[in-house]
Amino acid sequence: MLWIKALHIVFVASWFAGLFYLPRIFVNLALVAPGSVAERARLLLMARKLLRFTTLLSVPALALGAWLWLGYGIGRGPGNGWMHAKLAVVLLVIGYHHACGVLLRKLADGSSRRSPRWLRCFNEVPVLLLLAAVLLAVVKPF
C-alpha cells in the first residue's frame, strides 16, 4: 500500500505542476503582440504539449487514488467526512483541468475574450485546490 500511496503522490504532484504552469502560458498568450505569429505559435505548441502531458499524468493519479480508496478502504466508514470533501475537491480539479482545455481551444482560435488579469487570477485556482486537498488529507478535520 505504501508504494501505491507514494506513486499517487508523485503523479498528483506532477499533475498539479502542469496545472500551475499551463495557465501561465495562457497569460503569455494573451500578452502576445498581434503581429507576433511565431511567438504565438510557439506558446500554443507549448500549451498543447503541456495539456496533453498533464492529462496523461492525471490518469494514473486518479487511478491510484481510486485504488487506495476502494481497494484499501482509506477514508471509508464513520468519521471520514474529510474523504467526501477531498473527493469534492478532486472533482473541482478535474473540472479545472477541463476548463484549461476549453480555454486553450478558445485561445488557439482567437475567440477568447479573457484579459491577462483574469488569466492571472485563473492561474491561482490550482494553488487553492491543492491546499484544500492536502489539508483535508493530512489534517482530516471531520
* Residues of the domain holding 25: 2-139
pLDDT at 58: 95
49 is in an annotated binding site: no
User: Residues 9-25: pLDDT tens digits?
Assistant: 999 999 999 999 999 99
Number of domains the chain contains: 1
Helices (H), the chain: 2-31, 37-66, 72, 81-109, 116-139
Q: Residue 90 pLDDT > 90, yes or no?
A: yes
Q: What is the CATH number of the domain that holds 122?
A: 1.20.120
Q: Which three cell numbers stand for residue 45?
A: 505548441
Question: What band does 46 get if pLDDT is binned at 50, 70 and 90?
Answer: very high
Question: What band does 132 get if pLDDT is binned at 50, 70 and 90?
Answer: very high
In percent, the amount of the chain with pLDDT more than 70 equals: 100
86 is in an annotated binding site: yes
DSSP 14-54: HHHHHHHHHHHHHHHHHHS-TT-HHHHHHHHHHHHHHHHHH
Decide: pTM greater than 0.85: yes
Does residue 92 or residue 5 have the better pLDDT?
92
Of the candidates 103, 75, 70, the residue with the CA atom closest to the CA atom of residue 89: 75
Does residue 103 or residue 77 have the better pLDDT?
103
pLDDT at 76: 79
